[in-house]
Amino acid sequence: MIGRLTALLRRELWSYFFTPLAWVVLTLFLLVQGYGFYLYVELINRPDAPHGQVMQYFFGGTFLYWLFLIFIVSAITMRLIAEERRLGTVEPLMTAPVSAGEVVVAKYLAAVLFYGFLWLPTLAYVAVLAGLLPESTVLDWGPIAAGYLGTLAVGAAFISVGLLASALCRSQIVAAMLCFVALSLLVLLGALEPFVSRPGLRAVLAHVNLFQHMEDFARGIVDSRAVVLLLSVVVFCLVAAARALEARKWR
């Protein structure tokens, strides 16, 4: 099983790193993130700047973070299964001695690794920030590490949603649109918390409030409830995607 999974993972990583789309996504990602980091630094340097560290705004502190994260995840997941189905390569893949679960896990891990690769160059922003601080100021590495951890965890959950959307669609565009809408609703769901008066519903919305969870990560707080929530999303979506792929195998 490990050998088959490794072969599938190598195949998926090859399709990411040796296609023009991957490098277009990487370039766009770094341009937007670099510009966003510049704006955050300028904001913090203003006399009337709100209290807080720049990396707290960088990790989920603005709506730009969420909008661009949803866009990037939709772009890197839309082709995972939908494109295979459109090209007719999913049928030979499924007739090989591999299970639907192995195919789904391999595609998911490849997407997560590529997503992590996108964020790797942003470590240079941390070095820039450390260089801009006065000599008497020490950079707090705890919130930065937790912010990256939260970003990877949220991204991993979002990628599982995108993979499920791709498993349900034949068209890449439709899969991207479905992923974008689903993730937007998931993000905005927690934002309804202040407008709900019923205690039970308010508690549920607070539990799925990704804004609050990422704010905690950016402050250096790793809440087990957030980890369990994101892990539950991953497990549910991967199982559902494997079932969807298995069901289409017999059609």
- pLDDT by residue for the chain (251 residues), tens only, comes to 666 677 777 877 887 777 777 788 888 888 888 887 777 777 666 665 554 565 666 776 677 788 888 999 998 898 888 877 776 666 666 666 677 788 888 899 999 999 999 888 888 877 777 776 666 556 677 888 888 899 999 999 999 999 999 988 888 899 999 999 999 998 888 777 777 777 777 788 878 888 888 888 888 888 888 899 999 999 999 999 988 887 765 45
The one-character DSSP state at 71 is H
Distance (Å, rounded) from C-alpha 21 to C-alpha 49? 38
**pLDDT computed for residue 13 by the predictor:** 80
Angle at 215 between CA 207 and CA 29, to 5 degrees: 110
- CB under 8 A, 24+ apart: contacts of 124-133: 125/33, 125/34, 125/37, 125/58, 126/55, 128/37, 129/41, 129/54, 129/55, 132/41
**pLDDT computed for residue 250 by the predictor:** 47
Distance of CA 227 to the CA centre of its chain: 14
Q: Where are the domains of the chain?
A: 2-249
Q: The whole model's pTM is what?
A: 0.87
**pLDDT computed for residue 48 by the predictor:** 57
